Amino acid sequence: MDPNLFTGKTYIVTGGAAGIGLGIVRQLSNYGATVYSLDMVKTPISDSEIISHPNVHYLIVDVRDDQACSAAVQQIISSTHNGAIDGLVNNAGICPAEGELPDHELYRRVIDTNFGGAFNMGLAVLPVMRRHGNGGAVVNVGSTSCLSGKNRLPLYASSKHALLGLTRSWALDWAKDRIRVNCVAPGATDTAMARGPLRAVQGPKFGMDKTDDELLECVAQLIPMKRFGTPDDVANAVNFLLSDLASYITGQVITVAGGSS
Q: Active-site positions?
A: 156
Phi–psi pair at 138, nearest 5 degrees: -120, 130
Q: Are 20 and 229 in contact (CB under 8 A)?
A: no
DSSP structure class, residue 181: E
Q: Are 47 and 29 in contact (CB under 8 A)?
A: no
CA distance 89 to 249: 16
What is the 3 state secondary structure string of 128-161? Answer: HHHHHCCCEEEEEECCHHHCCCCCCCHHHHHHHH
CA distance 234 to 228: 11
Classify burial at 178, counting beta carbons within 10 Å of its beta carbon; exposed 0-12, middle 13-18, buried 19 or more.
Answer: middle
